Structure 1
Amino acid sequence: MQEENYFKFSIEQLLPPFLMVFSAWVVFWVEIKWGVNLNFLGVYPRTLEGLGGIFCSPFIHGSVEHLFNNSLPLFILSLALFYFYKEKAWHVLFIGWLVTGILTWLLGRPSYHIGASGLIYMLASFIFFKGVFQKYYRLVALSLTVVFIYGSMLWYIFPVEEGISWEGHLSGFLSGLVLAKLVTMRLPEKKKYDWEKEDYNEEEDEFLQHFDADGNFIEKLPEEPLSEISINYEYKPNKKEAD
């Protein structure tokens, strides 16, 4: 697949990121509207009832600030996943979501772990490490962009601030790293220039003909001598003259 076809944007790529963020806001609106607290649907480590939080916790947030801080990175990183890794996007999202939740359930403190931050760390980790592993220039550029924008998040995989689920962050980070290593994907065919092709001949290259043996640029190539043109006239008498 050529680069221009592989990195082709479609409106469908906006739908999954939008739905995830929209669903989280709808859940929070329901909590405010009806005065309910859905924190019990979060991940509660090493309990049977806490397993449901593996699927539900990314949609549950403790405050407007918590939800707002998660919405933008969730949308941007999931959009990057569906644009740059469209062939494996659903696979990475589903497996990463599941593994992040399971690791949080295994490693977390005995408390309700809620919010989409674990999923965000999984996406950021996968996008960064996958670009590094693939060594494809566009994906490496994406990795560097993720580091530039979200590099400070790395500190929060450690218990540096009270009340933050660093276990969920660490689980997401590890999940993304493992997925980046294990998930295989086809890279687009990079456009080859004439000088990269095997049958390339320097002597036939019009550009290189503008340089002499010492590497000096020749502004105007010597004109090739015109081939000799011979003109032969043949006289044919008309009918009247022939008579």
Structure 2
Amino acid sequence: MASNLARLLADSRRALFTMLGFLTVIWAVQVVNWLDDYRLSYDYGLRSGRIDELPEMFTMPFLHFGWDHIEANSWPLFAFGFVAAYRGMRKFLLASLLITVAGGLTVWLLERPEAVTAGASGMVYGYFGYVVLRGILDRNLLDAAIGIVIAALYSYLLLGVLPVAEGVSWLGHLGGLIGGLAAAWLLRNRAPEPASAAPAKTAANTTVNSTEGTSPNAALLKQLDDLGL
């Protein structure tokens, strides 16, 4: 129990520093981007349909088109990212990769060719889906409670996967959410199969039956032999 708690605390510290580091990077990039009239967002944001643009799916989460854009993403990114990471960094990194690729491919395949997509909101939706479904699949009381609270407080986010707002990459949101749900399913805890009690029971029954089937003389002789007589 103590070792599990120590591991949880260590993973929580790593999750905290990871998300603080991520936010530090995207805010530093935002300052440079702002000074350059957001050329980075246009140069390294993702455009659909071009093979040479595919690597930009890995740069677009770090880029934004304005201060309002990055401010709107930062708090939910930190909150959902921390909850997604606090139970283990390996699964978190794999989930982040799945979310990034799913969101990027959705935009690349379905977005209008003239549109440039950038921003971390796809990651926000991905971590949101990952955390909520993970709590259900893993049957973890804490995760389930966190997932329910998050689902209740941020249910409005689901509107972001619909084409209802002009200039918002709902495809990136939808792809990120799909990636987060897929990551929760693929990375779910698979409890080890319980040891079957049937063989032990059979063995016990066999022992009992062999004793019951032994003649009284044989049992007596065995007891005398045990006593050295």
Shorter-chain TM-score tier: 0.7 to 0.9
1:22 aligns with 24
Q: 1:148 aligns with which of 142, 148, 152?
A: 152
Q: Counterpart of 2:154 in 1: which secondary structure?
A: helix
Question: How many angstroms apart in 1 are the aligned matches of 2:152 and 2:119?
Answer: 23
Q: 2:125 aligns with which of 114, 121, 128?
A: 121
Structure 2 counterparts to residues 224-239 of structure 1, below 5 A: none
1:161 aligns with 165
Is 1:131 aligned to 2:135, yes or no? yes
2:100 aligns with 97
Question: How many angstroms apart in 2 are the aligned matches of 1:132 and 1:178?
Answer: 13
Q: Look up the equivalent residue of 1:103 and give its one-letter code.
A: T
Answer yes or no: is the 8 Å Cα contact 2:130–2:183 preserved in 1.
Answer: yes
Question: How many angstroms apart in 2 are the aligned matches of 1:89 and 1:35?
Answer: 33
1:32 aligns with 34
Answer yes or no: is the 8 Å Cα contact 2:77–2:124 preserved in 1.
Answer: yes
RMSD: 1.9
Answer yes or no: is the 8 Å Cα contact 1:88–1:185 preserved in 2.
Answer: no
Answer yes or no: is the 8 Å Cα contact 2:138–2:188 preserved in 1.
Answer: no
**Structure-2 change in CA distance of 1:80 and 1:163 (3 Å):** same
Question: How many angstroms apart in 1 are the aligned matches of 2:8 and 2:38?
Answer: 43
Is 1:170 aligned to 2:174, yes or no? yes
1:179 aligns with 183
Q: 2:49 aligns with which of 42, 46, 49?
A: 46
Question: How many angstroms apart in 2 are the aligned matches of 1:25 and 1:91?
Answer: 23
Q: Look up the equivalent residue of 2:129 and give its one-letter code.
A: S
Q: Counterpart of 2:65 in 1: which secondary structure?
A: coil
Residue 85 of structure 1: CA displacement?
Answer: 4.1
Q: Going by fraction, where is helix more abundant, 1 or 2? A: 2
Residue 98 of structure 1: CA displacement?
Answer: 2.2
**Structure-2 change in CA distance of 1:108 and 1:138 (3 Å):** same
Structure 1 unaligned regions, length at least 5: 188-243
Answer yes or no: is the 8 Å Cα contact 1:42–1:52 preserved in 2.
Answer: no
Instruction: Specify the structure having the higher radius of gyration (Cα).
Output: 1
Residue 15 of structure 1: CA displacement?
Answer: 2.0
Question: How many angstroms apart in 2 are the aligned matches of 1:25 and 1:45?
Answer: 26
Q: Counterpart of 1:135 in 2: which secondary structure?
A: coil
Q: Counterpart of 2:48 in 1: which secondary structure?
A: coil
Residue 36 of structure 1: CA displacement?
Answer: 4.8
Q: Look up the equivalent residue of 1:174 and give its one-letter code.
A: I
Q: Look up the equivalent residue of 1:139 and give its one-letter code.
A: D
Residue 13 of structure 1: CA displacement?
Answer: 2.3
Residue 49 of structure 1: CA displacement?
Answer: 3.3
Residue 95 of structure 1: CA displacement?
Answer: 2.5
Q: 1:12 aligns with which of 7, 11, 14?
A: 14
Structure 2 unaligned regions, length at least 5: 192-229
TM-score of the aligned structures, taking structure 2 as reference length? 0.75
**Structure-2 change in CA distance of 1:125 and 1:77 (3 Å):** same
Higher mean C-alpha deviation, range 68-77 or range 81-90: 81-90
Answer yes or no: is the 8 Å Cα contact 1:87–1:185 preserved in 2.
Answer: no
Residue 21 of structure 1: CA displacement?
Answer: 1.2
Deviations 1:94-135 (A, max 9, x none): 222222212221122221111000111111001111111122
Residue 86 of structure 1: CA displacement?
Answer: 3.8
Q: Counterpart of 2:39 in 1: which secondary structure?
A: coil
Higher mean C-alpha deviation, range 152-161 or range 38-47: 38-47
Q: Look up the equivalent residue of 1:127 and give its one-letter code.
A: V
